């Protein structure tokens, strides 16, 4: 610490400058909402390795651009708030210029399918597939692949957000998912595994 | 006149053939297949999504349900699709109508509950909140409190992830031996900050910022 910093006046000035300005809660929420809106491709919803589409690059660009814009906006907002300490009459960010606050859920995010992985353990099975209301209970639409050690089978498929019932076809026999909760289908008088999918 | 009759017959035949084709590969007798095709056709002509009906039929066939039960199940799904659309509105996304149908299949879930949830977010998909209500009720939570709580959480801007988290937590608690209502109330404590007050209406709460106390600012 230099001598100048021991000076009570200088010390007080330093303390004042180090204080974080009070952030306007509404502004912060809008900035967070803008950043959330810019984040168009959450990690869990991204395609698997080897399934990369050309469009992915542009999506990433927009994501980065959106986050950068949001970060710049936060910086600008905080800077403006800091200035208001010495210039009390100066207006901060005008609320009218900001997009309206919307709930986190929205049609744009909910209408998109979410990648979901299904895993099944079996060393003896020859053929495993996942069947559910998300694929019309078609036993050939989502076959699971056996892992290298032969025990674990898995498949990742896109599913619309919501509640879904499903099960596995293991060598043409319907089997519930031991990892999932089950529900009773009163119409058919049968159990099924249940999953509620949500955009992360 | 003859032309109109012939055209109508051709259209009916084409629709029947299409309905039949969507049911292809389903192992059932000819009479059952015809009945199922008629149910699908009828739903289609009323503008209902037919995928849930076909999916239910495939599910039943997969687990070798008796033909009569298969037909009854298809009819039940078609009926609930009608109820769901009536509750959610004709302009509701097909996914929401299907979600409403699924929820209505659980004893205790009513069309009014779907209507209330839809009114909370009229321009946004409500498939997930409806699914959570269904999940909670299926777990043993009383339907009224389940639906009202989800509605109030939506009004408080709870995210879909938070709603699904609540449903999954209760589900797991119940699977572990806990009482459904006890688990529901305990797990709800975590979401108090985003629980809109009793009697909150969508118009009042959605426009007001939520404070940390969970109550909207005046």
Q: Which residues of A touch B167 (CB under 8 A)?
A: 196
Q: Is A91 helix (H, G, I), strand (E, B) or coil?
A: coil
Judge whether A39 and A63 are in contact, CB under 8 Å.
Answer: yes
Q: Using CA atoms, how far apart are residues A33 and B191, in angstroms rounded to an integer?
A: 20
Q: Is A171:A16 a contact under the CB 8 Å cutoff?
A: no
The C-alpha of A126 sits at a distance from chain B's nearest C-alpha, in angstroms, of 18
Under a CB-based contact definition with an 8 Å cutoff, are residues B147 and B113 in contact?
Answer: yes
% residues pLDDT > 90 (chain A):
40
What element of type H or E holds A28? helix A25-38
d(CA B26, CA B23): 6
Mean pLDDT along residues A167-196: 95
Q: Rounded to whole angstroms, how far apart are CA atoms A69 and A56?
A: 20
| Each residue's pLDDT tens digit, A4-43 | 556 665 566 556 555 544 455 555 566 555 555 554 433 3
Is this complex's ipTM strictly greater than 0.85?
no
* pLDDT average, residue stretch A123-143: 95
Mean pLDDT of A94-115: 52
Residues of chain B positioned with their CB less than 8 A from the CB of A137: 55, 58-59, 62
Contact B197, B215 (CB under 8 A): yes
**Considering chain B, what percentage of its residues have pLDDT values greater than 70?**
81
Closest residue in chain A to residue B72, using alpha carbons only:
A187
- In a mutational test of the A interface, the residue from B74, B160, B170, B173 whose CB has the highest number of chain A CBs within 10 Å is B160
pLDDT at B28 over 90: no
pLDDT score for B159: 93
Say yes or no to pLDDT of B147 above 70: yes
Q: What is the pTM of this model?
A: 0.65
Q: Which residue has the higher pLDDT, A65 or A191?
A: A191
> Is there a contact between B124 and A183 if contact means CB atoms under 8 Å apart?
no
Nearest CB partner across the interface for A196, out of B25, B58, B168: B168
Calculate the average pLDDT of chain B. Answer: 85
Please judge whether A198 and B164 are an interchain contact, meaning their C-beta atoms are less than 8 angstroms apart. Answer: yes
Chain B residues closer than 8 Å to A161 by CB: 125, 127-128, 160
Within a 10 A sphere around the Cβ of B161, how many other Cβ atoms? 14
- Contact check, Cβ <8 Å, A200/B161: yes
Q: How far is A24 from chain B (nearest CA, A)?
A: 12
Range A141-146 average pLDDT: 96
Q: Closest-CA residue in chain B for A110?
A: B125
Cβ of A181 and B172 within 8 Å? yes
A73 confidence band (pLDDT: 50, 70, 90): low
Which secondary-structure segment (H or E) carries A116? strand A114-121
- B215 compared with A163, residue with greater pLDDT: A163
Give the residue from A73, A59, A187, A74 showing the smallest Cα distance to B39: A187
pLDDT at residue B216 is higher than 60: no
Q: Measure CB to CB from residue A137 to each of B55, B76, B167 and give the nearest one.
A: B55
Distance of CA A112 to the CA centre of its chain: 12
* CB contact (8 A) between residue B160 and residue A107: no
Q: Which of A101, A169, A187 lies at the smallest CB-CB distance from B56?
A: A187
Question: Stretch B143-167: mean pLDDT, rounded?
Answer: 95
Rounded average pLDDT over A57-78: 51
Share of chain A above pLDDT 70, in %: 44
Residues 6+ apart with CB under 8 A from A13: none
Across chain A, mean pLDDT equals 68
Residues A101 and B61: their CA atoms lie apart, in Å, by 48
Kindly report, residue by residue over B163-214, the tens digit of the pLDDT.
Answer: 999 999 999 999 999 999 999 999 999 898 888 777 766 554 443 333 333 3
Greater model confidence, A94 or B195: B195
Q: Read off the tokens for A186.
A: 């009163």
What residues of chain A have any CB closer than 8 angstroms to a CB in chain B?
25-26, 29, 101, 103-107, 110-111, 131, 133, 136-139, 160-163, 165, 169, 174, 181, 183-190, 192, 194, 196, 198-200
Q: Tell the residue number behind the tokens 């053939």, with chain if given.
A: B17
pLDDT value, residue A150? 82
Please tell me which residue of chain A has the smallest CA distance to B156: A103
Q: What is the pLDDT of residue A17?
A: 53
HSE-CB for A155 with a 13 A CA cutoff = 16
What pLDDT, on a 0 to 100 scale, did the predictor assign at position A174?
96
Chain B residue numbers with beta carbons less than 8 Å from the beta carbon of A138 are 25, 58
Asked if the model's pLDDT at residue B45 lies above 50, the reply is yes
For the stretch B43-71, what's the b/e string if a residue is b when 16 or more beta carbons lie within 10 angstroms of its beta carbon? bbeeebbbbbbbbbbbbbbbbebebeebb
Hey, are the CB atoms on A162 and B160 less than 8 Å from each other?
no
Q: What integer pLDDT is reported at residue B210 of this predicted model? A: 33
Q: Which of the two residues, A16 and B83, has the higher pLDDT score?
A: B83
Cα-to-chain-centroid distance, residue A152: 27
Answer yes or no: do A196 and B51 touch at CB < 8 A.
no
């Amino acid at each position: 610490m230099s001598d100048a910093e021991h000076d009570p006046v200088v010390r007080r000035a330093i303390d004042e400058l180090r204080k974080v300005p009070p952030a306007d809660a509404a502004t912060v929420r809008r900035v967070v909402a803008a950043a959330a809106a810019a984040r168009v491709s959450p990690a869990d919803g991204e395609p698997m390795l080897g399934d990369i589409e050309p469009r992915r690059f542009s999506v990433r660009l927009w994501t980065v651009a959106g986050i950068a814009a949001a970060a710049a906006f936060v910086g600008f907002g905080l800077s403006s708030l800091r200035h208001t300490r010495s210039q009390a009459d100066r207006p901060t960010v005008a609320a009218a210029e900001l997009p309206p606050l919307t709930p986190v859920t929205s049609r744009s995010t909910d209408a998109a399918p979410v990648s979901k992985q299904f895993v099944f353990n079996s060393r003896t099975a020859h053929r495993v597939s996942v069947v559910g209301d998300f694929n019309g209970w078609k036993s050939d639409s989502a076959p699971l692949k056996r892992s290298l050690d032969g025990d674990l089978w898995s498949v990742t498929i896109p599913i619309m957000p919501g509640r879904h019932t499903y099960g596995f076809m293991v060598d043409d026999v319907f089997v519930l998912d031991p990892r999932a909760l089950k529900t009773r289908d009163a119409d058919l008088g049968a159990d099924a595994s249940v999953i509620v999918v949500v955009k992360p | 006149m003859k032309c109109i009759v012939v055209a109508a017959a051709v259209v009916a035949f084409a629709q029947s053939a299409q309905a039949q084709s969507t049911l292809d590969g389903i192992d059932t007798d000819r009479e059952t297949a015809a009945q199922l095709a008629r149910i699908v056709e009828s739903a289609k002509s009323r503008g209902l999504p037919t995928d849930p009906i076909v999916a239910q039929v495939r599910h039943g066939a997969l687990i070798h349900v008796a033909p009569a039960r298969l037909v009854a199940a298809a009819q039940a799904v078609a009926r609930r699709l009608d109820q769901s659309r009536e509750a959610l509105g004709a302009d509701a996304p097909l996914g929401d109508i299907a979600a409403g149908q699924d929820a209505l299949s659980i004893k205790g879930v009513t069309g009014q509950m779907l209507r209330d949830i839809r009114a909370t977010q009229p321009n946004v998909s409500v498939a997930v909140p409806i699914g959570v209500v269904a999940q909670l009720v299926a777990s043993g939570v009383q339907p009224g409190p389940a639906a009202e709580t989800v509605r109030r959480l939506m009004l408080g801007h709870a995210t879909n992830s938070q709603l699904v988290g609540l449903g999954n937590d209760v589900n797991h608690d119940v699977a572990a031996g806990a009482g459904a209502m006890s688990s529901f109330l305990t797990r709800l404590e975590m979401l108090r900050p985003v629980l809109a007050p009793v009697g909150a209406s969508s118009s009042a709460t959605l426009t007001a910022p939520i404070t940390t106390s969970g109550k909207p600012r005046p």
